[in-house]
Structure 1
Amino acid sequence: MTLHNRTVERDVRELGALVGDVLEAQTSTDAFETVEELRTTAIDYRDGERDSRDALDRTLRGLEPETAVTVARAFTTYFEMVNLAEERERVRAIRTASQEGSLADSLSAAVESLADRDPAVVERILGDVLIEPTFTA
């Protein structure tokens, strides 16, 4: 089985674009443009293309309260999407390593590492392990 040739960067870009599309459709073009201005200004500052964060500060201080809430929600949603993209990347890495037989953090690798240990040590280690299934909606 061949896995997708996706990258976390591609996932972030696509999910970020989706957040932007939803933001513009559900709020306004002005709100979208404000978020984009803040986002690109922050990137420019991070990349050294701006010497200070004054432009960000001015924009944020000038927001109406309703727009500020929209901006905060947009960035919160964006960062949730970044976390999702990172989780997907971790799943891809685990699947790839599992297929290649090189998964270092597997259950079989854990069993192998405990096989040569003193039984009392193994019992103490396993006594500390707690596995609880979690069911979510």
Structure 2
Amino acid sequence: MALLHASIAVDDIEAAQTFLCAMFGLTPLLDRIDITDAFTRMTGHAVDRCLLSQLAGPEIPVALELIEAGRLPRASFPHAHFSFSVPQLDDAMARAFRLGARARGVITQFDEGRSVYLSIPGGMTIELEELV
């Protein structure tokens, strides 16, 4: 058994994909393909349109999958997110802010390092972690 991809719903697949590719050097394996019929069959929920992208990078062991299927309600707590290890949290945050991200809270110190949640373009949350 192997993990093939990690998937998250986004409001704007183009904005999320652009941010993730620019911030982390990812490249599309699948680029905004229309999976409307398959999504409806698999989930039992009819949607007007559903797009899917899968992104990869040299340090990412599984594909990161983005799905845009209309405006889906989400909780305010970022329970669904991608987490990225970064060498310097402050530098990574500055770069993310230049690319349109905003902090959801404050940098938090844990035994293993510092961490912060960011809202990024496209309507999703990422976590940046500076591990010690």
- In the superposition, the TM-score normalised over structure 2's length comes to 0.22
Larger strand fraction of residues: 2
- In the superposition, the TM-score normalised over structure 1's length comes to 0.22
In our comparison, the structure showing a higher alpha carbon Rg is 1
